Amino acid sequence: MKTLKIVANLQGQFFNFMRIAIFIVMVWIGGLKAFQYEADGIVPFVANSPLMSFFYNNPEEYKDYKNKEGEVIEKNINWNTQNGTYSFSYALGSAIVIIGFLTLLGIFNKGLGLIGGLLTAGMALVTLSFLITTPEVWVPNLGGDMPTPQHGFPYLSGAGRLVIKDIIMMAGGLLIASDSAKKLLEYKKL
């Protein structure tokens, strides 16, 4: 019973820990968007998304110019530069970092925390939409002699496993938004 009370009484600190966790992930991932390998990595998601493909000049050509993670092929980098890949990645990274800071500032300012939580959930929803729009999130059919095919749905590729984790970011963002809204309503009653 004592342990239950301790855990229950720490709920406010756990919400703040969630704010800090979202901040760390957002600043780290957003900051990486300034690097070529990370910008290259998001190309299939953006190019296939009806919500985002218009940010690229030639999204339909991306498969011919894909750099593997850490790969540096000059012709691919030149295409990505002309495609708008890097400028979009810088802007997206900046937005993600700002969302992280808004969420963190929710520790001190519940209005900013509400905005940060809602933006976190919205960003996660867009990311989760890649499960529908991006072929690379599913294991491709490469042939073989397996008696049971192990490709397509529900077999997530590395990219798919990366995307599905955003369901946790969505839940965290909604919890933070809800906590911030609750505290704002309590404050207004005073």
Average pLDDT score over residue span 2-18: 95
Instruction: Indicate if the pLDDT at residue 180 is higher than 90.
Output: yes
19 domain-assigned: yes
Tokens 């909604």 locate to 174
Q: For 140-171, what is each residue's pLDDT tens digit?
A: 888 776 666 788 889 999 999 999 999 999 99
**What pLDDT was estimated at residue 69?**
87
46 domain-assigned: yes
Instruction: Indicate if the pLDDT at residue 26 is higher than 80.
Output: yes
**What pLDDT was estimated at residue 147?**
66
Q: What residues make up the domain containing 94?
A: 12-189
Average pLDDT score over residue span 161-185: 97
Instruction: Indicate if the pLDDT at residue 62 is higher than 70.
Output: yes
21 domain-assigned: yes
Structural domains in the chain (count): 1
Tokens 């704002």 locate to 184
- Of 71-80, 114-123, 139-148, the poorest mean pLDDT is in 139-148
Average pLDDT score over residue span 41-50: 96
Q: What is the pTM of this model?
A: 0.91
Mean pLDDT of the chain: 94
**What pLDDT was estimated at residue 150?**
85
Which carries the bigger pLDDT value, residue 188 or residue 103?
A: 103
155 domain-assigned: yes
**What pLDDT was estimated at residue 146?**
67
Instruction: Indicate if the pLDDT at residue 79 is higher than 70.
Output: yes
Tell me the CA end-to-end span of the chain in Å, nearest whole number: 33
Sorted by sequence, the CB contacts under 8 Å of residue 56 that are 6+ apart come out as 43, 46, 47, 62, 83, 84, 85, 88
Q: What proportion of the chain, given as a percentage, has pLDDT over 70?
A: 97
